[in-house]
Amino acid sequence: YLNDKNNSNELEQQKNINTRCKYLNKIWSQAKPISLNDPVDRYLKARGINLSEFPTVLRYHRQLSYYNDDKKFEGKFPALLALVQDKENHAVTLHRTYLGNGCKANVLKPKKLMSPKLPGASIGAAIKLYEPRDNRLALAEGIETSLAFSVATKLPVWATISAVGMENILLPPYIREVIIAIDNDKSERGQQAAYQLKKRLLTEGRAVKCVTPPSVGNDFADMLLGIC
């Protein structure tokens, strides 16, 4: 009987995973590659990020439903979708940025990570915007910060999504040099996460460099906007 119960639980878990995967695939398939002057491009330009080509892991969703924390429907908005991948490059979930007219949507939480296909699957994962070059890779928290840093430095960048994501990012072994673009948070949470990651990467035998915007409360997207 115990085995029967375990099998039943495994089947139920697999059913939930399949349902979750179908939903994530549905949302992703509804979105289109970003094109010049669409709402995502206008939003990025408003942040000082001018791209002629867009990472394939980013897409534009024309009307994505927004629900608040009480699961109450608040409307549909244009959205920037980002594919989140684990260490083996398996897609595990999607990140959403709800948009207004050249800005984030006027909702309580315009940036949301969708529940992953499997609990815990997003730990160590990232939005892999550009392929690493010459065994070098830069890391930043947000998508906008990552894109801005790549524009400014011409380095390939991955977005870790959050400070927690920064601490837990898992990198392939061939990455030998890592540049961490730190958010200069007033709370110092971003700095703490970056230096925690640096400590771990050094123990893994990698070369690590940290760079921080000079102004407190700014990230590299803010800096780029000030330059443009």
The pLDDT tens digits for 105-149 are 999 999 999 999 888 999 999 999 999 999 999 999 999 999 999
185-216 pLDDT, tens digit per residue, is 788 898 999 999 999 999 999 999 999 877 66
Residue type, 56: T
Pick the CATH number of 136-227 from 2.60.40.420, 3.40.30.110, 3.40.50.1000, 3.40.1360.10: 3.40.1360.10
User: How many angstroms separate the Cα of 212 from the Cα of each of 74, 133, 175?
Assistant: 37, 22, 21
- What does the alpha-carbon distance between residue 227 and residue 98 come to, in Å, rounded to a whole number? 25
Residue tagged 């815990």 (tokens):
120
Q: Token pair for residue 75? A: 């409307």
Query: What share of residues in the chain are helix, strand, coil (percent, to 5)?
Result: 35, 25, 40
- What does the alpha-carbon distance between residue 100 and residue 110 come to, in Å, rounded to a whole number? 10
pLDDT band at 171 (very low <50, low <70, confident <90, very high): very high
**Residue ranges per structural domain of the chain:** 2-113, 136-227
Beta carbons of 147 and 228 less than 8 angstroms apart: no
pLDDT at residue 227, rounded to an integer: 38
pLDDT band at 49 (very low <50, low <70, confident <90, very high): very high
Distance from chain centroid for Cα 26:
19
Q: Which among 53, 66, 86 is positioned nearest to 168, based on CA atoms? A: 86
Determine which helix (DSSP H) or strand (DSSP E) holds 58, and give its type and residue range.
Answer: strand 58-67
Helix (H, G, I), strand (E, B) or coil at 21: helix
pLDDT at residue 119, rounded to an integer: 87
- What does the alpha-carbon distance between residue 92 and residue 82 come to, in Å, rounded to a whole number? 11
